[in-house]
Amino acid sequence: MKAVSYQQSGISSLLGPDRMATGLLLLVNSTFFLAVLLSKNEAFPFFAAKTLPGLAAGEWWRLITAGYLHIYPMHILMNMMSLYNLGPIAEEMFGTRRMFTIWTVSTIGGFLLSAIWTQAPSLGASAGIFGLMGAMIAAGVMSRHPYAKYLQKQLLINAGIGFFIGSLPMFPIDNAAHLGGMIGGFATAWVANFPRPFDDAREKLWSLLAIVSLALTIYAFYEVAMKLNQAAVRL
């Protein structure tokens, strides 16, 4: 496994092509937040958040779109800070294709478990963020590198703190989405393993999975756009 330093997770690491997924995730999440904030349009969250009635009606795309949506400034600030810190490290470890696939699977898995666990609506990028944590914890299991072991220990502590805070009644935190995301990230990273440039067939497979993840995400937001258009026509 390639060694990564914390210094590599700074702004310079987001400028190169090997940090594309992290940079785009930061940009897309922030853009959607500003769009909702400035337009004061509650229809977008209504059609994009994870809700049981929506999922029961077959609106599967909510399992993806909910992971790109925030309403409160503190919510997106905390999530984007976490993504800014963790994303470059995960992308360095697993590569852009695996990292984005891990993010997508974690987001879907997180909100799927949330839908099973609770009837409350939920949204936010934290399912994907906990998925990155799960993936790097898996890296610590798979690798003998001291850095991976150190990072695994730190992330287990941070995840424990996060679950504890999420269990406190004064915080409306979706621990089920966090748990589902972490499980999804761990499992995907375990299957993906680290990039193997000499294994062309395996790398092509993860390229395909990343394309499928991107296509599903784009189509999910297309469905939301169609719902918004239909609502506007009815008005």
Number of domains in the chain: 1
In a domain, 110, yes or no: yes
Q: How many CA atoms lie within 13 A of 91 on its CB side?
A: 28
Rounded CA-CA distance 50/65 in Å is: 8
42-51, 69-78, 114-123, 163-172 — which is least confidently predicted? 163-172
Mean pLDDT across 50-74? 95
Q: Alpha-carbon distance 76 to 29, whole Å? A: 8
DSSP assigned state of 10: S
Q: Which residue has the tokens 């330093």?
A: 5
What backbone phi and psi angles, to 5 degrees, belong to 100? Answer: -70, -35
Residue 193 gets the label, from left (phi > 0), alpha (psi -120 to 50) or beta, of left
Residue 41 counted as domain residue? yes
Going by the DSSP 8-state scheme, the letter that residue 189 receives in this structure is: H
The domain of 19 spans 6-234
As a whole number of angstroms, the distance between CA 34 and CA 18 comes to: 26
Q: Mind listing the pLDDT tens digit for each residue in 1-16?
A: 444 443 444 444 454 5
Tens of pLDDT, residues 198-223: 888 999 999 999 999 999 999 999 99
**Per-residue pLDDT band at 171 (split at 50, 70, 90):** confident
Mapping DSSP to helix (H, G, I), strand (E, B) and coil, where does residue 122 land? Answer: strand
pLDDT in tens, 99-136: 999 999 999 999 999 999 989 999 999 999 999 999 99
Residue 129, in any domain of the structure: yes
17 inside domain:
yes
Q: Is residue 1 part of a domain?
A: no
CA 9 to chain centre: 17
Instruction: Confirm whether 164 is domain-assigned.
Output: yes
The CATH number of whichever domain residue 104 belongs to comes to 1.20.1540.10
What local confidence, expressed as pLDDT, does residue 222 receive? 96
Separation CA 169–CA 172 (nearest Å) = 7
Q: Which amino acids are annotated catalytic?
A: 126, 178
Instruction: Count Cβ atoms below 10 Å from residue 208 Cβ, excluding itself.
Output: 12
